Every structure is written in C-alpha cells, then in structure tokens.
Amino acid sequence: MKEKVVLAYSGGLDTTAIIPWLKENFDYEVICCCIDCGQGEELDGLEERAALSGASKLYIENIIDEFCDDFIVPCVQANAVYENKYLLGTSMARPVIAKKLVEIARKEGATAICHGATGKGNDQIRFELGIKALAPDLKIIAPWRMTDIWTMQSREEEIEYCKAHGIDLPFDASHSYSRDRNLWHISHEGLELEDPAQEPNYDDLLVLGVSPEKAPDEAEYVTMTFEKGVPTSINGEKMKVSEIITKLNELGGKHGIGIVDIVENRVVGMKSRGVYETPGGTILLEAHQQLEELVLDRATMEVKKDMGNKFAQIVYEGKWFTPLREAIQAFVESTQQYVTGEVTFKLYKGNIIKAGTTSPYSLYNESLASFTTGDLYDHHDADGFITLFGLPLKVRAMKMAEIEANKKN
C-alpha cells in the first residue's frame, strides 16, 4: 500500500497543483483536508476539484465554533493585537488548522502532512510549529521550499502543469490580490499594496464592507453583553460567539469599521504591507476593552497590557501549543472573572463611539470621581501621598544641587 499524505487543501491553484505533484514525486496517496474556519463560498465545488486533481479523499471539517471559542475568545480577552494594529486573523486560525490536520493524519494513518505556504511568509512557521508540537513523528512537506523538484514559479506555470496532467480547471493566469479569509477577517496583499507609497484601491479591494466615505450618514447604536469576558448577546438577543462575530461583521462592514493598512514585521525578518478587514473583530475588541476599563484595577490593567502584547507575539509567531501561551492565557482568564456587564456604543463612518457602560462589578465610584468632596476622599491626604511619592525625585534633585555646588567650590 502507498503511504498517505494529508494535504492542507484550500481549493486554490497552488494546492490544486500540489496534488499531482505529490503523486508524481513521492508516489503518495493524497488525502485533501479543507478546514472550514468561515471561508464561506470559497468552499463551493471543492469535492469535484479535489477528485479531478487526483486526491483519493477530501475532508471538509467545519471548526468554526472551535475556532471562535478556543482561539478567538482567548485573544479577545487578552486584547492581543500585533504591532498595535493587526488583530491576528490569520495567526489565530493556523494552530486550529494544524490541530485538525494532525487529527486527520492520525485517523488515516498518514506519514506526512503537506502545506502550500510559501518560503517567505509566516504561515509555514505557524503550520509547522503546530504540527511539530502535536505530532513530532510526522514528516512535513513544504513544496515551495523544495526548489529542486518544485519548479513552478508562476500561476501560468502551475496552470500548464495541471493541464499536462489532465486537469482542466477554471483558473486563469490573471494576477489578483492574495487573500486569506475566515470568520474573523480577510487579508489582502499584492498589486498596488506591494508599494507602500501607493494608496489602496478600496473600491476593488474591500470584500466585507465599505470604506468610511461610503458608509451611511446616520450612526447606529449597538448594545452588547459580556459574561466573564465572553460576549453573550447583541441588542438583547442571546447568541453563541460565532453568531456574534457574524453579526458584528455585518454591522461593522456596513459602517466602514476595521479597515487597517499596515506594514508589519514578519517572523522571517522582512517587512510586508497588507490591508486587513476585521469589522466584527474590531468592534468586539473595542467593546471588551470598554468594559474592562470599568472593572479592572490599575495594576492589573498595567500588567495585562504587557501580557496582551506578549500573547499577540506568541500567536503571531505560531507558538500556540507552548507552555508560555498556556501560562499567559491562565493569567488572562483569571482577570476576566468580573468582566461582566453591558456595553453600548454607536457605529459611524469607521468610528466606534462610546455610549455607556454598566457592570455589577464596576470599580467606578461616583463619590470618589466627583469634583465634590465625598466621604471616601479627604483632599488633605494628598499632601502626604505626594511627599512620599515624589521623595525619590526630591532626593535626587538635592544630590545634583550638592554636586553642582561642590564643582563651583
């Protein structure tokens, strides 16, 4: 019997060409595995395409709820944003995909897993670190790094390769944006975006929504509830997390929310420019932070901010299945015990504007915060506090004055 390889299959030109390539160069039985993280209509027609290309089997695994509950929610709770802008849409999906690829490989008794990520990107790292952590015995095949036997360097060459192997597919050689989509976001790279001096052509580029200029002229109010840092409803309607993200995508896209143009630092050392659409995710993160402002104390917020940045870096670098991620997530989850309440905001032309926050665990005390003197705060107490708080500054200033005086003498 032939050895089996599980191919991470999207149905695009690259992974379609990889099927006959694997059979020709390794004599593998190819089992395609398409992981549904919310790609939508991109999954249409995959079964026929995979079979036509020579795959012996195709798995289409719907993991949308697992993706939302076990991967997106921890990142939202951590307020994890890479380099202050990127909401980790692709980064969060890769570990759950790797996990499912390993499960299928075990089920099929496969000896290898293959992916179509390029040798310049982050995804090769994310896929392979996940596979190594979960199945160190499995062989990993990365065609784009095997330049001695993977000789195709363009869409034209891939199309010709497929035709030569009897695969006539509805792809053309015209170049378009390179995109990655799931329930959380869609990323865009290529074309004019490869030149940071050029403005994105939003009319052609946007998929999930409109630019702020084309958004409605009237604001729309939205109310959300959270329980222990997990979103539970929109406008009074209880929903599971995946449904909430879907609804927020609709609302955010309508109002031009969550469009980010960024030049980011890839793990492999280069800078890359891309545009991300994350309408629902942008709203969800902002709403969660709006509630945390009311509930978390200053010291916890300070440390949590640092942990959130570290969490984002870990996820971006593909290190999900590590003790450090587990430890930071445990800290974050402990901070969410009282992040419960209701958040109201309005969406208007790319903006998320606060419109009120309440929580049974709010640390906001009107008596303390008011400009009038309340029972809990005596203005005279500030004298001693400032004296002690500023003592290091005063001592240093006195010492510097003493040194200057000695120089003059």
Residue with the bigger pLDDT between 171 and 212: it is 212
Catalytic one of 56, 69, 70, 178: 178
Instruction: Tell the residue number behind the tokens 């609804």, with chain if given.
Output: 247
User: What pLDDT is stored for residue 380 in this prediction?
Assistant: 87
Residue 14 lies in a domain: yes
If asked whether residues 243 and 280 sit together in one domain, one would say yes
Out of 34-48, 133-147, 282-296, pick the least confident.
34-48
248 or 45, greater pLDDT: 248
Q: Sorting pLDDT into bands at 50, 70 and 90, what band is 298?
A: very high
Active site residue 53: no
pLDDT of 81 above 80 = yes
Grade residue 373 by pLDDT with cuts at 50, 70 and 90.
low
Task: Assess whether 102 and 145 both reside in one domain.
Answer: yes
Is-contact 104 61, C-beta < 8 A? yes
State how far the Cα of 80 lies from the Cα of 68, in Å rounded to an integer. 15
Q: List, for residues 240-260, the tens digit of each pLDDT value.
A: 999 999 999 999 999 999 999
Can you give the CATH number for the domain in which 243 is found? 3.90.1260.10
Tell me the Cα Rg of the chain.
26
| Residue 141 near residue 73 (C-beta atoms within 8 A) | no
pLDDT at 79: 98
- 223 and 351, same structural domain? yes
In a domain, 252, yes or no: yes
Are residues 136 and 244 both part of a single domain? no
Residue with tokens 């959130």: 308
SS3 88: coil
Residues 8 and 55: beta-carbon distance below 8 Å: no
Question: What order do you get walking across the sheet with 259-265 strand by strand?
Answer: 178-181, 186-189, 271-277, 259-265
158 and 111 fall within a common domain:
yes
% the chain with pLDDT above 90: 88
Both tokens of residue 366? 């009107």
Annotation marks residue 178 as catalytic: yes
- Give domain status of residue 320, yes or no: no
> Does residue 280 lie within any of the structural domains?
yes
The reported pTM is 0.94
The yes-or-no verdict on residue 57 having pLDDT over 90 is yes
Which residue(s) pair with 286 in the sheet?
none
pLDDT band, residue 377 (cuts 50/70/90)? confident
Q: Which domain holds residue 113?
A: 4-70+89-164
The residue from 49, 53, 91, 123 that is catalytic is 123
Q: Kindly state the helix (H) or strand (E) to which residue 93 belongs, with its residue range.
A: helix 89-108
In a domain, 224, yes or no: yes
Q: Which residue has the higher pLDDT, 155 or 115?
A: 115
pLDDT-derived band of residue 209, with 50, 70 and 90 as boundaries?
very high
User: What's the pLDDT score for residue 42?
Assistant: 81
Tokens coding 283: 């709203």
State the total domains in the chain.
Answer: 3
User: Is 14 noted as a catalytic residue in this protein?
Assistant: yes
Query: Domain end: 132, 164, 196, which one?
Result: 164
From 13, 312, 344, select the one nearest 163 (Cα to Cα): 13
Residue 328 lies in a domain: no
Please check whether residues 111 and 199 belong to one and the same domain: no
Q: What is the pLDDT of residue 212?
A: 98
Query: Per-residue pLDDT for 44 more than 90?
Result: no
In this structure, the answer to whether residues 210 and 274 fall within a common structural domain is yes
Residue 301 covered by a domain: no
Whether 195 and 142 share a structural domain: no
Q: Which of 14, 91, 180, 273 is catalytic?
A: 14
| Cα–Cα dist 313/22, whole Å | 34
pLDDT band at 376 (very low <50, low <70, confident <90, very high): confident
Instruction: Provide the CATH number for the domain around residue 130.
Output: 3.40.50.620
Task: Clarify whether residues 280 and 183 are in a common domain.
Answer: yes
Judge if 144 and 226 occupy the same domain: no
Question: Other CB atoms closer than 10 Å to residue 151's CB: what's the count?
Answer: 10
pLDDT band (50, 70, 90) for residue 176: confident
Q: CB burial class (10 A; 0-12, 13-18, 19+) of residue 6?
A: buried
> What tens digit of pLDDT does each residue of 316-352 get?
999 999 999 999 999 999 999 999 999 999 999 999 9
Task: State which H helix or E strand residue 227 sits in.
Answer: strand 220-227
**Residue that is last in its domain, among 131, 164, 197:** 164
Mean pLDDT of the chain: 95
Q: Is the pLDDT of residue 372 over 70?
A: no
Measure the N-to-C terminal CA separation of the chain; round to a whole number of Å.
94
Residue 283 resides in a domain: yes
